[in-house]
Each structure stands twice: as C-alpha cells, then as structure tokens.
C-alpha cells in the first residue's frame, strides 16, 4: 500500500499496528492498535481534534466522505463504511440500494463498542450510540440511540451535560 494524502495536527498518536491512508488528522488525536482508517484521493477521511479511537476500529471512506467531528470517542470494534462491499450481480444488491454515501459524526459524540454505521448516516452533536447498535438512519443532536436497528432511546437536555456548550458553527 502506498501512503498518500496524510496530514497531521499537533500531538497525534497512531499505534504502529494501525493502518491509515488518505486521512487528515486534527490536533490531539489518538488511534489505538489494529485500527484501519482509509480514504481515497477523492475522499480524504477527516478526523477532528481531540478525537480518540479504541482498538479494532474500521473506517472505510474510499467511496464517499467520512467526517468525524471534534472530541468524538469511538470505542473498540466499530465499523463505519461509506459503501457496501457486495459481489457484483448478487441478488442482495437491490436490498442495499443506497450505494456509496457520506458518514458524519458531530462534535462531542460517543459511539459505544461493537457498532456499525451504514452509508449515508449522520450522527449529530452530543449524541450517544449504545454498544452493539446498527445505525442505518441519521441521528439528531442530543440523542441517545441504540438497538438493531438503532432507535431513539431518549433526548438529552443540554443542561445534563454539565458543561458550557460551544456555539454551533
């Protein structure tokens, strides 16, 4: 694999056992062991400052953009794919008709362990995705979702976060 399109902010740590290609890293990003984060020259993965990845996370943004906001926590064993990798001519291709579509995760969100985010999903700001969830629909700001498929469990109130929230850009 030829490395390309890599840019790093300050204090970025990537475990030597992880693979990255076509990725822009903000400041203070930490990537644990055995992660695979790949974009393409046309779709460079963007990872915001203060974001951390647990072990064994796979991000495949080779066919559409993946953008991770700032201060996002992605626990271990998660899969974010911007396209389904299906055999040509397979009868199930009609079922997965979305094709390639961008994935976005908003600032200050947490993705629990063992989740799958499908192509085209946007997770809002200050969201929680419960462990072992399959997310195939976009999630609004301040939401807690979980399940297979994920559904809204509750809305968070900004005052519950016990912090001064930054202004929305």
The enclosing domain of 65 has a CATH number of 2.160.10.10
52 within some domain: yes
Cα 158 to Cα 17: distance, rounded to the nearest angstrom: 38
168 within some domain: no
Question: Of the ranges 10-19, 40-49, 76-85, which one carries the lowest mean pLDDT score?
Answer: 76-85
**Domain of 27?**
6-84+91-161
Position 91 confidence tier, pLDDT thresholds 50, 70, 90: low
- Is the pTM for the entire model greater than 0.85? yes
42 within some domain: yes
Which residue from 65, 38, 168, 57 is spatially nearest to 107, judged by alpha carbons?
Answer: 168
Total domain count for the chain?
1
169 within some domain: no
What sign does the dihedral 96-99-120-2 (CA atoms) show? positive
pLDDT of residue 2: 57
62 within some domain: yes
């Amino acid at each position: 694999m030829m490395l390309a399109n890599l840019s790093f902010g300050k204090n970025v740590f990537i475990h030597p056992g992880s693979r990255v290609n076509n990725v822009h890293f903000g400041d203070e990003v930490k990537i644990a062991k055995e992660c695979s984060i790949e974009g393409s020259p046309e779709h460079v993965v963007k990872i915001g400052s203060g974001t951390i990845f647990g072990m064994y996370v796979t991000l495949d943004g080779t066919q559409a953009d993946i953008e991770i906001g700032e201060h996002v926590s992605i626990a271990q064993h998660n899969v974010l794919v911007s396209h389904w990798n299906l055999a040509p001519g397979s009868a199930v291709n009609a079922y997965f008709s979305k094709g390639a579509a961008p994935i976005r995760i908003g600032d200050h969100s947490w993705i629990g362990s063992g989740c799958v985010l499908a192509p085209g999903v946007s997770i809002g700001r200050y969201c929680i995705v419960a462990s072992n969830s399959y997310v195939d629909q976009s999630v609004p700001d301040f939401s807690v979702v979980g399940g297979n498929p994920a559904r809204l469990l509750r809305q968070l109130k900004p005052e519950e976060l016990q912090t001064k929230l930054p202004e929305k850009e």
